[in-house]
Structure 1
Amino acid sequence: MRATSRKRKFPQLCRVIGGATLLFAALNLQAQSQPEISTSVDTTSIRIGEQIRFTVRVETDSSSVVFFPEGQTFSPLETVEAFMTDTTRKADRILLEKTYALTQFDSGAYLLPTQRIEVDGKGYFTDSLLISVATVPVDTVTQKMYDIKPLIGVDRDPLSWLRTLGWVLLVLLLAGIAVYWFFIRKKPLSPEEEEALLPPFERAMRELKRLETSRYLIQDEFKQYYTELTDIVRSYLEEEVHVSALESTTSELILKLELLKDAGQLRLEPDTLIQFRKILETADLVKFAKSKPEVSRAEQDRLVVESIVVKTKEAIPEPTEEELMQQAEYLAALKIQKKRKKIRLAFASLAGILLVALISSIAYFGFANVKDTLLGNPSKSLLEGEWVASSYGYPPVILETPEVLYRRDVNLPPEAREAVKEIDAFIYNNPDAKLSIAASSTLFNKTDAEPDFEGSIEQILKGFEEKGARNIITKQETFTTVSGVKGIKIYGRGDFPVPESSSRVDGAYTILMFGGNGFLQELVISWEEGDPYAEEIVDRILKTIEVKTTV
């Protein structure tokens, strides 16, 4: 009986042990699949400007997808650098280490906030840490104290005007090269152009030689041959003797030459004129009556025309000294006229290029943009200039502006000194652009005092009215910075006076207020309504504003 009982209990014991083993393995597998997250810092106490190394370690499955914090998520501490993630494998798991270099430039105790680590789409949060930032000790006994040095104006970019000048010179150089290449440059002459520039006698003799080597007579083309022959001699007489030979008939041309001979302006022999008449009559018969003289006769006529050209050249009287002087003056005047024509053409071409560039720029960039660029617009210059990112007051108001804001002394009335401990005020005012930017940070004597937003808004609007603003319209809404800090936004428009002038403009303004126990932060911006560049400036400032809410 006892043996049988033992046999029955043994299988039951095995099943119990096996079940426990499986349960332990499942629990162990589930524990291994959960990510393990830990953090550490190399120190919790630094001096102003020093850095701490904040390290996040994540141990998880090798197939997991892990996302670490990016950007300025450690406020009020500032991220200096996020180092590359270090990866170490452990069997089927991996160990990821991400290190951040953090710093702070104001003394005090700061809470390093919890950070969200995302593993496979699920968020895990790190522990928060308290970081102590101490001031640098100053020896006030042996070290001499000096007054604060005044602000020194620094040129934004000493080479910016050189780059602008370089682009302008490059455009003018390209335009000058184009004008010179297409209008002023002496272009290489073609053989026909070079021949056209020869004196009439040399050109006529060259054309007669070319006619001698032509194939007109071989191809029985007498009409073309005599046409060119008479055109050569007629053109020569028209240029050299100054008679209208090309449009004259044979009889009219011979009559004009005889009149010049009788007047003593052309010393030709009578036989020369007779020979010339016969050649012209033969040419008329060939061209109009389709006559075909013998080849030898045609060649002889060419030789006669060549002789007539030579004799005519010799028969022209030499010009007198007075005629030469008149001709020289005429040529000089003609040269000056041509030079002036080239200059006018060059200026016209340059003006055309600039006009095309202007029209193209207006079509691409718009008329207002081109006008403001050429004539200069103060708001546009501020928008496109080099901006300044800075921190103002304590608790700090951090923002980017076209120019740095300058500290302004604030005289507190006696009744306000009981509540206010300190006011840091900064302002930038540009009368040309009609733009004003003011930032302030106020500390109260009582650290638990709540800021009076409504009273501050009334004081700012009252200040507008004291400066001459009228018909002020006010709207209010909630404003949130990039890091998620919520504040109050008051905005609107009004009729504002122009400083140092009797005129008035339609103005717009925006007021931002942030605060908490013991402090108040304000930003006030005013500009001319309808100025697109000023509106872009304001939008950019509002996108970059950041406030520290830890005192």
Structure 2
Amino acid sequence: MKVYKLHIIKIKLFNLWLLLSFFGFGSIAAYSQTTPKVTSSIDSTTIKIGEQIQYKIQVETDTSALVMFPEGQTFAPLEVVETSPVDSVIIADKLNLVKKYALTKFDSGTYNIPIQTVLVNKKPYLLDSIKVNVASVVVDTTKQKMYDIKPLVEVDKNYSGWWKYIFYAFIGLAIIGGLLYWFVFREKPLTQEEKEALLPPYDRAMLELKKLDESKFLIQSEYKEYYTQLTNIVRSYLEEDVHITALESTTDELINKIELLKDAGSLDIDNETIIQFKKVLETADLVKFARSTPESSVIEGDRKVIENIVIKTKEALPEPTEEELLQNEEYLEELANKKRKRKIVITTITSLLIIGITISAFGWYYGFGYVKDTIIGHPTKELVEGDWINSEYGYPPISIETPKVLKRVNLELPAEANNMISTNQVFNYGSIIDNFYIMVSSTTYKKGVDFDIQKAIDATIKSMEKQGAKNIILKDEEITTPTNKKGLKVYGSMQVDNGNNEDTHNAKYILLNFSEGGGFQQVMMVYREGDNYANEIVERITNSIDFKTGS
């Protein structure tokens, strides 16, 4: 008995040892399966602005593990330029995973790559932060010249290729014109329904009865639909030709209206026809509302009665009077006028839309002011775009290009001026109250006269005041023309009297003064303030000025 108990104890101890061994080895195996190795590295810790560094994450784990790498902009403040696909290699039952990130930064300074998180079987593994130094690019100013920032330059719009826009506009107008013709002005062929609608009421009723005979209502035992159409045909005919409200009337009301017309002599129809018509209407009411099913012979008889009623009613109607025919013609003419007016309205609205869209498109591209001046017209715009003339004026001659030919003007000089001036020739176009005025003068002085350019300018200013200029503001500067001629430019603003003291406009003026070829030449231009076209004229005239040396 004791030996038996001892044997049982040994067996229990052995089982306990096996259980402990199983859990021990199991924990070791489990530990080996859940210990992945996660590391990170970069190829450089110092880069220049815009250069890239390679950030690499390496994971070593079991082949069955689920690994998730960082995604998105988790490397801020550095920017992710590119991410490579995961590279995987199996070595000795271990899975090695490698993922690379291309990082960069466009501002100099020291930055930290944030702590990155890698998930292995949903368990997070944190990677250390790495410091990166981004250096600025050093410029050697001894070898690379430094230049000042250039000022803003106003560039004129390029109007080349304008013909393309005209061509596109022409194509668009042609398409719109074709659509208008096709949908508005073209006489469209009538459809079968429209042709039938234009038939006289009697002919249309007979045609609809024929179509009813060809329908499948009776074959499909659709008696309600058959009688509904049958009675609607005769009711519609009575409304159009007899002019009574038949479609909305009950059977008794409709029969009463027909009998009243008969008694009044407006409808010459016999009593037997009215009685037959009433029976058909009553049969139709039973079929439509009481779901009655008539026999084939009754249906056939009712069909003949309806056709007979239409025929007899047509025969019973009196011939239309001349007044009624005239009213009908007037009605048709009124319809034609309405149709014509509708076409005119559609055409007008479409044309206005086309014009509006075209003006808006050109205004958006060229500017609304330019488009307005092109359509309505502008005096100085016409001068800019006209044919210019290059000519020589006076002695010593001054060569200049102008939008119009300058005409010689005879000026009376003061007595003191006659004692100093040998020759004085003046040419001009317009006057200072016009949109644009130009005056060219060439003067020579007598021997021994001490020429003072300032006195000459003052004399011109006094002449402007006599012509209606006031509140003149003076500015001056030395200039050199594109033809390398040096002179004195006097310019500014003023008010010009338009003819009475109460009506004035603001103007700009420019005096170009030169002393060339033994003489004094002066170019004066006056134009209204805010006129951009006049500015173009002034620039072109100024750039064209040249002189011929006098003998």
2:538 matched to which residue of 1?
538
CA 356–194 in structure 1, closer or farther in 2 if over 3 Å, else same = same
CA 422–242 in structure 1, closer or farther in 2 if over 3 Å, else same = same
Contact persistence 2:483–2:544 (CA under 8 A): no
The whole-number CA distance in structure 2 between the counterparts of 1:541 and 1:215 is 92
Q: 1:472 aligns to what SS in structure 2?
A: coil
The alpha-carbon deviation at position 271 of structure 1 amounts to 2.4
1:330 matched to which residue of 2?
327
The whole-number CA distance in structure 2 between the counterparts of 1:184 and 1:296 is 53
- Number of residue pairs matched by the alignment: 376
The whole-number CA distance in structure 2 between the counterparts of 1:464 and 1:202 is 91
TM-superposition CA deviations, 1:121-179 (whole Å, max 9, x none): xxxxxxxxxxxxxxxxxxxxxxxxxxxxxxxxxxxxxxxxxxxxxxxxxx999999987
Contact persistence 1:406–1:428 (CA under 8 A): yes
The whole-number CA distance in structure 2 between the counterparts of 1:432 and 1:473 is 17
The whole-number CA distance in structure 1 between the counterparts of 2:433 and 2:420 is 38
CA 405–330 in structure 1, closer or farther in 2 if over 3 Å, else same = same
The whole-number CA distance in structure 2 between the counterparts of 1:450 and 1:216 is 121
1:422 matched to which residue of 2?
423
Answering whether residue 325 of structure 2 is matched by residue 285 of structure 1, we say: no
The whole-number CA distance in structure 1 between the counterparts of 2:482 and 2:223 is 97
1:378 matched to which residue of 2?
379
Matches within 5 A, 1:83-482: 186-295=187-296, 297-319=298-320, 324-342=321-339, 344-360=341-357, 363=360, 364-365=362-363, 372=373, 376-410=377-411, 416=417, 420-429=421-430, 433-444=434-445, 452-482=452-482
Q: 1:498 aligns to what SS in structure 2?
A: strand
The alpha-carbon deviation at position 257 of structure 1 amounts to 1.4
Contact persistence 2:432–2:467 (CA under 8 A): no
The alpha-carbon deviation at position 533 of structure 1 amounts to 3.9
Letter in structure 2 aligned against 1:307:
N
1:519 matched to which residue of 2?
519
Contact persistence 1:420–1:444 (CA under 8 A): yes
Letter in structure 2 aligned against 1:521:
Q
If you compute each CA radius of gyration, which structure gives the higher value, 1 or 2?
Answer: 2
CA 402–549 in structure 1, closer or farther in 2 if over 3 Å, else same = closer
TM-superposition CA deviations, 1:66-123 (whole Å, max 9, x none): xxxxxxxxxxxxxxxxxxxxxxxxxxxxxxxxxxxxxxxxxxxxxxxxxxxxxxxxxx
Letter in structure 1 aligned against 2:486:
K
Runs of 4+ in 1 over 6 A off after TM superposition: 171-181, 448-451
With a CA cutoff of 8 Å and minimum separation of 6, indicate the structure with the bigger relative contact order: 1
In structure 1, runs of 5+ residues without a counterpart are 1-170
CA 339–316 in structure 1, closer or farther in 2 if over 3 Å, else same = closer
Contact persistence 1:487–1:513 (CA under 8 A): yes
The whole-number CA distance in structure 2 between the counterparts of 1:313 and 1:234 is 13
In structure 2, runs of 5+ residues without a counterpart are 1-171
Q: 1:360 aligns to what SS in structure 2?
A: helix
The alpha-carbon deviation at position 246 of structure 1 amounts to 0.9
CA 521–431 in structure 1, closer or farther in 2 if over 3 Å, else same = closer
Contact persistence 1:449–1:518 (CA under 8 A): no
CA 235–550 in structure 1, closer or farther in 2 if over 3 Å, else same = same
The alpha-carbon deviation at position 512 of structure 1 amounts to 1.4
TM-score, normalisation: structure 2 = 0.59
TM-superposition CA deviations, 1:304-331 (whole Å, max 9, x none): 2112111111122334xxxx23213323
CA 334–431 in structure 1, closer or farther in 2 if over 3 Å, else same = farther
Contact persistence 1:451–1:518 (CA under 8 A): no
TM-score, normalisation: structure 1 = 0.59
TM-superposition CA deviations, 1:433-490 (whole Å, max 9, x none): 43211112334566x9996432222111111122232110011223333334333222
The whole-number CA distance in structure 2 between the counterparts of 1:414 and 1:317 is 109
The alpha-carbon deviation at position 195 of structure 1 amounts to 1.2
The whole-number CA distance in structure 2 between the counterparts of 1:431 and 1:469 is 8
CA 294–397 in structure 1, closer or farther in 2 if over 3 Å, else same = farther
Contact persistence 2:396–2:519 (CA under 8 A): yes
Contact persistence 2:398–2:548 (CA under 8 A): no
Contact persistence 1:491–1:509 (CA under 8 A): yes
Identity across aligned pairs (percent)?
46
Letter in structure 2 aligned against 1:546:
I
- Cα RMSD, aligned residues only: 3.7
2:28 matched to which residue of 1?
none
1:504 matched to which residue of 2?
504
